[in-house]
């Protein structure tokens, strides 16, 4: 299990695969599987059978997990995809840092 420096709510850019270049918000992260789900990225088609809760079956489109290595965090200040560094503050808390501009990502 690798450490994930991308968290729920972050904006990321896809750097590999069919959705390369697209931006989206992270909906959920699965650290053990090293995957995450991004809003409107890697859409998969699912065939659903009618049930009591969902009266009408059919084909639905939903986000599928994408590997963490295929995305980069988008820095809010420089508005570029960036790698993430860690910095220790004076009060002892760890903060994520943009490697390009040095700006704190967690505020």
* pTM across the whole model: 0.85
The Cα–Cα gap between 87 and 11 comes to 20
Those residues whose C-beta lies under 8 Å from the C-beta of residue 6, and which sit 6 or more positions away, are 12, 26, 29, 36, 68, 71, 73, 84
Question: What domains can you pick out in the chain, each with its CATH number?
Answer: 11-74 (2.30.30.30), 82-107 (no CATH)
pLDDT values of the chain reduced to their tens digit, one per residue, 107 residues: 567 899 999 999 999 999 999 999 999 999 999 999 999 999 999 999 999 987 899 999 999 999 999 999 999 999 999 999 999 999 999 999 999 999 998 87
Per-residue pLDDT tens digits for 40-69: 999 999 999 999 987 899 999 999 999 999
């Amino acid at each position: 299990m690798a450490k994930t420096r991308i968290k729920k709510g972050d904006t990321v850019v896809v750097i590999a695969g069919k959705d390369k270049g697209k931006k989206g918000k992270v909906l959920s992260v699965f650290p053990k599987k090293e995957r995450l789900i991004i809003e409107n990225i890697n859409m998969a088609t699912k065939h659903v059978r009618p049930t009591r809760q969902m009266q009408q079956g059919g084909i639905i489109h939903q986000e599928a997990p994408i590997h963490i290595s295929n995305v980069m965090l988008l820095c809010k200040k420089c508005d570029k995809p960036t790698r993430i560094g860690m910095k220790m503050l004076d009060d002892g808390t760890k903060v994520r840092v943009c490697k390009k501009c040095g700006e704190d990502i967690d505020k």
